[in-house]
A = this chain, B = another copy of it.
C-alpha cells in the first residue's frame, strides 16, 4: 500500500518525515514551472539555493544566476523568475544557480528525501508517473507563500494525487485528508485552471505586476515530460521512461 501525504506549506514540512520517500516540491507560480522550462533549454543543471550569499558562493565563471525577490529579477542576476524569459534562451551546457522566495526553500527542505522532484501543472502527469515508478511513499509539498497556503500549489498537488490514484488504483493508495481535499478541489476546477490561477492571491499579485502571460503559461497542464530531479546538489533533467515499472 502506497501512502501519499500532501503538505500545505513549507513550514509544516518536517525534514525527518522525508526519509526514504519520494518528495515532490510544487511552486506553480513560478519557481518549479521556471525550473522545468530552464532545463528544457539544455542547461546542465540547476543549483537551488536559499540566500543571495549562497548564490554568490556557488557562482563560477560561465554560470548563470537566476531568481527573484518580491517577484522581480534580482539586480546583477542574468535572469528573473519568469519562465517566459527562457522559452527562447540558449542555455546549452550552462550551470544555473537559482534562488526564489519560496520554491527553492521547498527543495532544500525536501533534501532528506530518497528522490526529490520538482512538479508543476506543466509536468504533473510525468511527475506522477516517475514518482509511482520509484515505488516508495510520496510526500507532496505545496511551497505556498511565506508560510501561507497558495491555491495554485494545492491544485497541482491535487492533479498529481489524482494521477497517482488513477495510475496505482484507488484501493492501492492511501491519501491524507489534506490530499483528499486538494484532489477534490482540483477535480472541481480542472476544466478552467487558468481562471483559477488568475483568481488566487499570487495570480492577482503577479497579474497586477504585469506577469499575466506567465500565469497563462504556468496554467497549462501536462505539456512536457521533463521532470527535474535532484542529483546530489543539482536539479537535472529526467524524462519519463516509455515503460515505467510500478
Contact residues of A with B, CB < 8 Å? 8, 148-151, 154-155, 176-178, 180-182, 184-189, 196, 199-201
Taking A8-B178, A184-B184, A184-B185 as given, write out 5 further A-B residue pairs in contact, using a Cβ cutoff of 8 Å, ordered by the A residue number. Answer: A149-B178, A150-B177, A177-B201, A180-B199, A187-B188
Please tell me how many copies of the chain the complex holds: 2
- In the bound complex, residues from chain B placing their C-beta under 8 Å from that of A154 are 177, 181
- In the bound complex, residues from chain B placing their C-beta under 8 Å from that of A150 are 177
Q: How far is the CA of A95 from the CA of B48 in the complex (A)?
A: 59
Selected from B151, B176, B177, B178, the residue in CB contact (under 8 A) with A177 is B151
- In the bound complex, residues from chain B placing their C-beta under 8 Å from that of A185 are 180-182, 184-185, 188
Known interface pairs A8-B8, A187-B188, A188-B188. Does A149 touch B201 (Cβ–Cβ under 8 Å)? no
Selected from B180, B186, B188, the residue in CB contact (under 8 A) with A151 is B180
- In the bound complex, residues from chain B placing their C-beta under 8 Å from that of A196 are 180
Q: How far is the CA of A3 from the CA of B151 in the complex (A)?
A: 17
Say yes or no: A200 contacts B184, CB within 8 Å: no
